[in-house]
């Protein structure tokens, strides 16, 4: 039978029974036709859970005859027939230790050693070996060694993707193939626009695994190209893309907008791993996307039991970090409390602490669980597992304890022992914007005339550092910052730069909102100086007038 007619007919068949009936009608089959038949059987009979009908396929006499043909005549097969059959049999989960598979792999290795394979053949063999459990690392290296002698410009996108996948295994800890990788990156850059969603995801994942931080142009092009593929990525592919965005520190507004369109429509069909990775991405990039957060909340309320403990944390922590309560907040935190009651012991200690800490940032107090958190047993578990009780962990513990002390006076459980408390919180996200501070400082000098009337970065007994502190006496006069007697009021100026807000937003981050809330409870008058109010002021007199209105709204002409 003419091969083209054969493959046209074969591709119109959608069950193994139809394929076996068709093959039975043929008197003679070339190895290309036979391997094509195996490929088609694997396509229609294998899904994500494996072989649909093992007995109906593996015990069929036509299938067994095909296998016998390949086993007994492996040395007579064309390269295409040999490698296509190997790929199909691996997909059909044929025992790698069987005589059939051993013969095919052995024949392929022999031809590899003799240099008989084209780039297409080498990539097909590499793909098979990556799928085959216990495959030889040395053979993969041998394939890559042959490949690096070839002309990359002539490769198809599929071949380039396969080389990236092989390099993930062979070049991860080695500089041996850096020249090949650099050439591959350069050529890939020229074909980015041709890449499918699958290939885009695989290459981005490979660049992460191979730590290709120097391939800036390629990474940027792939990230931009990925925007149009968002509706078409599988869950795993989207996870790979998001991980690449996070690893390479890339953010693209149109990518966020595409996610905002796609995620709410698809949320209930997404795997929890995909949902949690989207939330983790938003959290790391400080992107407060209400459509995404609202959709994630709705999904968690409906499907919390499908989430692992790590996925629960990745899904919930961004609400606290970015200081956002969705419309369904009451149901969301009721569901979270139920999950914590039933699965508390399943959480890793550092994951659990980060989760509960994020809750207090949005005034959701996990009072029922704090006795366990402050218990010696839990603290010992924290200490025993990396990163142990480092500065961030002890800051979270201390802020939990301070929150319950200030905001939950009814709490009567165990206290956090002083040896686990910090004297100053570590807040890497909310570090001081020194350019903005300099402008405010100069405006205050213009307003108050002397530097002695305000202090910068003042530590408090309550672990917080006040950006700028001004002291007033009972009559409202400004006192020297060093004076401790007759202080009637303390004003805390919070100089909030862009890094203390969600990106492209005026929504203050959770840790900064909590700091300002706690300073008020501790007796400070908190005055917020956000970047978006002061950065447009043209001179120091205008800044001084602005500060006068903010700090002393009921006085006139103070120093101006």
For the segment 21-25, the average pLDDT, to the nearest whole number, is 91
Write out the DSSP string of 177-238: THHHHHHHHHHHHHTGGG--HHHHHHHHHHHHHTT-TT-HHHHHHHHHHHGGGGGG--HHHH
Average predicted confidence (pLDDT) for the chain? 93
pLDDT of residue 99: 93
**pLDDT exceeding 70 applies to what percent of the chain?**
98
What confidence tier does 132 reach under pLDDT thresholds 50, 70, 90?
Answer: confident
Which pair of tokens denotes residue 272? Answer: 């929890």
303 found inside a domain: no
In the chain the first and final C-alpha atoms are separated, in Å, by: 98
pLDDT of residue 427: 76
The pLDDT tens digits of the residues spanning 492-519 come to 999 999 999 999 999 999 999 999 999 9
Domain carrying residue 540: 431-555
Which pair of tokens denotes residue 367? Answer: 């009072």
The pLDDT tens digits of the residues spanning 455-487 come to 999 999 899 999 999 999 999 999 999 999 999
pLDDT of residue 173: 62
Q: Per-residue pLDDT for 73 more than 60?
A: yes
Q: How many domains does the chain have?
A: 1
What confidence tier does 30 reach under pLDDT thresholds 50, 70, 90?
Answer: confident
Candidates 17, 23, 22; CA nearest to 56 is: 17
Q: Per-residue pLDDT for 331 more than 50?
A: yes
203 close to 195: Cβ distance less than 8 angstroms: yes
Query: What angle do the packed helices 290-303 and 253-266 form, to 10 degrees?
Result: 30
389 found inside a domain: no
409 found inside a domain: no
Phi and psi torsions of 222, nearest 5°? -65, -40
Which pair of tokens denotes residue 551? Answer: 């700090």
What confidence tier does 557 reach under pLDDT thresholds 50, 70, 90?
Answer: low
pLDDT of residue 51: 86
pLDDT of residue 171: 79
324: left (phi over 0), alpha (psi -120 to 50) or beta: beta
Task: Identify the weakest region by mean pLDDT among 38-42, 80-84, 143-147, 148-152.
Answer: 148-152
Q: Tell me the C-alpha distance between 534 and 143, whole Å.
A: 61
The pLDDT tens digits of the residues spanning 361-420 come to 999 999 999 999 999 999 999 999 999 999 999 999 999 999 999 999 999 999 999 999
pLDDT of residue 32: 87
438 found inside a domain: yes
Q: Tell me the C-alpha distance between 72 and 34, whole Å.
A: 14
The pLDDT tens digits of the residues spanning 158-208 come to 999 999 999 998 876 667 888 899 999 999 999 999 999 999 999 999 999
173 found inside a domain: no
Task: Identify the weakest region by mean pLDDT among 158-172, 309-323, 333-347, 496-510.
Answer: 158-172
Q: Per-residue pLDDT for 560 more than 60?
A: no
For the segment 324-341, the average pLDDT, to the nearest whole number, is 97
What confidence tier does 1 reach under pLDDT thresholds 50, 70, 90?
Answer: low
DSSP secondary structure letter of residue 419: G
Task: Identify the weakest region by mean pLDDT among 78-82, 136-140, 156-160.
Answer: 136-140
User: Tokens 């409390």 map to which residue?
Assistant: 337
**pLDDT exceeding 90 applies to what percent of the chain?**
82
518 found inside a domain: yes
For the segment 105-123, the average pLDDT, to the nearest whole number, is 93
310 close to 275: Cβ distance less than 8 angstroms: no
pLDDT of residue 559: 47
| H or E, element range at 291 | helix 290-303
494 found inside a domain: yes
Q: Tell me the C-alpha distance between 351 and 378, whole Å.
A: 12
Q: Per-residue pLDDT for 149 more than 90?
A: no
For the segment 254-279, the average pLDDT, to the nearest whole number, is 96
pTM of this structure: 0.88
152 found inside a domain: no
Write out the DSSP string of 9-53: HHTT--SHHHHHHHHHT-S---HHHHHHHHHHHHHHHEETTEES-
């Amino acid at each position: 039978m003419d091969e083209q007619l054969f493959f046209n007919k074969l591709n119109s068949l959608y069950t193994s029974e139809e394929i076996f009936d068709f093959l039975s009608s043929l008197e003679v089959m070339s190895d290309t036709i036979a391997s094509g038949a195996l490929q088609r059987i694997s396509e229609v009979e294998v899904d994500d859970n494996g072989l649909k009908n093992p007995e109906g396929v593996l015990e069929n006499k036509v299938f067994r005859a095909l296998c016998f043909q390949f086993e007994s005549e492996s040395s007579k097969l064309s390269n295409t027939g040999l490698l296509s059959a190997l790929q199909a049999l691996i997909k059909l989960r044929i025992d790698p230790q069987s005589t059939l598979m051993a013969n095919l792999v052995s024949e392929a290795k022999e031809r590899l050693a003799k240099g008989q394979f084209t780039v297409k053949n080498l990539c097909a063999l590499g793909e098979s070996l990556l799928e085959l459990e216990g495959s030889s690392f040395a053979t993969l290296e041998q394939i890559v060694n042959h490949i690096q002698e070839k002309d990359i410009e002539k490769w198809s996108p599929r071949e380039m993707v396969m080389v990236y996948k092989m390099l993930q295994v062979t070049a991860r800890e080695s500089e041996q193939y850096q020249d090949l990788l650099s050439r591959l990156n350069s050529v890939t850059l020229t074909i980015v626009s041709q890449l499918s969603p699958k290939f885009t995801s695989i290459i981005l994942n490979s660049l992460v695994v191979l730590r290709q931080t120097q391939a800036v142009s390629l990474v940027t092009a792939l990230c931009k190209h990925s925007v149009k593929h968002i509706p078409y990525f599988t869950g795993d592919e989207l996870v790979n893309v998001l991980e690449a965005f996070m690893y390479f520190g890339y953010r693209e507004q149109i990518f966020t907008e595409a996610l905002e369109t796609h995620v709410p429509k698809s949320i209930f069909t997404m795997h929890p791993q995909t949902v949690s990775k989207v939330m983790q991405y938003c959290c790391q990039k400080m992107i407060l996307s209400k459509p995404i957060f609202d959709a994630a909340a709705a999904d968690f309320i409906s499907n919390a039991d499908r989430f692992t403990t790590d996925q629960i944390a990745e899904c919930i922590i961004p609400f606290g970090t970015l200081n956002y309560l969705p419309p369904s907040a009451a149901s969301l935190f009721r569901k979270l409390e139920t999950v914590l009651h039933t699965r508390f012991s399943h959480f890793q200690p550092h994951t659990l602490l980060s989760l509960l800490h994020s809750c207090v940032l949005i005034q959701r107090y996990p009072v029922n669980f704090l006795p366990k958190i402050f218990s010696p047993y839990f603290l010992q578990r924290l200490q025993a597992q990396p990163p142990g009780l480092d500065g961030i962990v002890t800051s979270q513990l201390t802020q939990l304890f301070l929150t319950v002390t200030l905001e939950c006076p009814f709490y009567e459980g165990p206290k956090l022992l002083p040896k686990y408390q910090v004297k100053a919180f570590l807040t890497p996200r909310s570090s001081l914007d020194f350019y903005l501070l300099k402008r405010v400082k100069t405006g205050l000098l213009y307003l108050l005339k002397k530097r002695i009337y305000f202090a910068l970065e003042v530590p408090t007994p309550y672990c917080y550092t006040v950006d700028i502190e001004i002291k007033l006496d009972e009559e409202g006069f400004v006192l020297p910052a060093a004076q401790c007697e007759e202080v009637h009021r303390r004003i805390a100026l919070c100089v909030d730069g862009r890094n203390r807000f969600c990106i492209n937003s005026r929504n203050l981050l959770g840790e900064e909102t909590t700091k300002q809330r706690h300073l008020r409870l501790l007796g400070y008058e908190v005055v917020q100086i956000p970047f978006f109010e002061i950065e447009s002021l043209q001179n120091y007199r205008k800044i001084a007038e602005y500060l006068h209105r903010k700090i002393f709204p009921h006085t006139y002409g103070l120093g101006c």
